Amino acid sequence: MGQLVAAQGGAIARWQLLGIGFRSSRVRSWLRTGRLHHTRFPGVYAAGRPDLPELGDLSSGLLFSGHRSALSGLSGLWWRGYLQRRPDLIYVDSPNRTRSRADLRIRHLATVRRTWHRKLPVTPTPSALLLATEQLSHNSLRLVIARAEFARETTLSSIEAACGRGIAGSSKLRAAMDAHLPQLAKCVNGLERDFVLLCEEHRLPIPEPNERVGRFRPDMLWADRMLIAELDGARAHSTPAQLIHDAARQRYLESRGYIVIRFTDEDMALRPAWVAAEVRTALARR
């Protein structure tokens, strides 16, 4: 039992306990004495302590959904690391008849294809993407596709193979693939992603984010033009120590022959057209 609980992040289902050989009376006793605690999902318990980590909480939703269930849609994509924010609901594909709840969305399929990722069953990425088209914007789909391809956990051809006439989400997913922008996967924050999308919108050459140049990784690099753009967010580029580091970094890059231009998050938010014009001018000089 201990190994099973550990593998499920502290969660265990009543049907698992009975399957191991414990009687219902033993389960009730453990609930009275605090060895087991109720979770938000009926028939699923937290062992030892009432609060569950993310692994345990997701496991409890899967256990409630029944045998052969798997995280799908937004939940599967988030668990794989392709989305930054955990979805408000848990999304599950299940071959069982368990009903959805306010906090758990279950899609019922005759057969659920599963693979394992960080101790939990998840549906294949193409299947999760198709389901997530209901919630994700066009650019968010592009970002997830770029991250999944960069991680080498799927390919554009496998995503295309999952699409088809009459398959929900196919047109949105194909539109995102038609506008595939792999550089999005190498962006480490929203400011960098916005800059890459700004370049695309203004038909500028797409830079390579965070490519190594000597001992540094500048934010944006046009290697053939020997041009670098550094993006200064207020949190990471405001203290005296940070400004000293930025200046030393810029001197190093310039010593290697690069032109370095800088933009703040305020520039990006308030005058994106000016940012694009400055980039265009700098590129023309190289």
Residue 167 CB contacts under 8 Å (≥ 6 apart), including other chains: 130
**The predicted structure's pLDDT at residue 28:** 96
Strand order in the sheet with 36-38: 11-13, 44-47, 36-38
Of 215 and 241, which is predicted with more confidence? 215
Q: DSSP string covering 47-97, please?
A: ESSS---HHHHHHHHHHHH-TT-EE-HHHHHHHTTS-SSPPSSEEEEESS-
In the block, residue with structure tokens 């609060």 = 51
How far apart (Å, rounded) are the C-alpha atoms in residues 228 and 260?
5
Of 237 and 101, which is predicted with more confidence? 101
How far apart (Å, rounded) are the C-alpha atoms in residues 5 and 3?
5
- pLDDT > 80? residue 234: no
What is the pLDDT confidence band of residue 237, given thresholds at 50, 70 and 90?
low
Mean pLDDT of 136-161: 97
* Token representation of residue 69: 């269930």
Model pTM score: 0.89
**The predicted structure's pLDDT at residue 171:** 97
Domains of the chain, earliest start first: 1-50 (no CATH), 66-180 (no CATH), 185-284 (3.40.960.10)
On whether the CB atoms of residues 191 and 217 are closer than 8 A, the answer is no
Length of the chain, in residues: 286
Q: CA angle 159-160-162, nearest 5°?
A: 65
- pLDDT > 80? residue 190: yes
On whether the CB atoms of residues 93 and 107 are closer than 8 A, the answer is yes
How far apart (Å, rounded) are the C-alpha atoms in residues 88 and 77?
13
How far apart (Å, rounded) are the C-alpha atoms in residues 210 and 216?
9
Neighbours of 233 (CB within 10 A): 16
**The predicted structure's pLDDT at residue 152:** 95
Closest residue by Cα to residue 121 from 169, 162, 63: 63
**The predicted structure's pLDDT at residue 162:** 97
Dump pLDDT digits (tens) for 258-279.
999 999 999 999 999 999 999 9
**The predicted structure's pLDDT at residue 238:** 60
Q: How far is CA 271 from CA 196, 221, 230, 268, in A?
A: 15, 21, 16, 6
% pLDDT > 70, the chain: 98
Per DSSP, 184 falls in state G
On whether the CB atoms of residues 187 and 181 are closer than 8 A, the answer is no
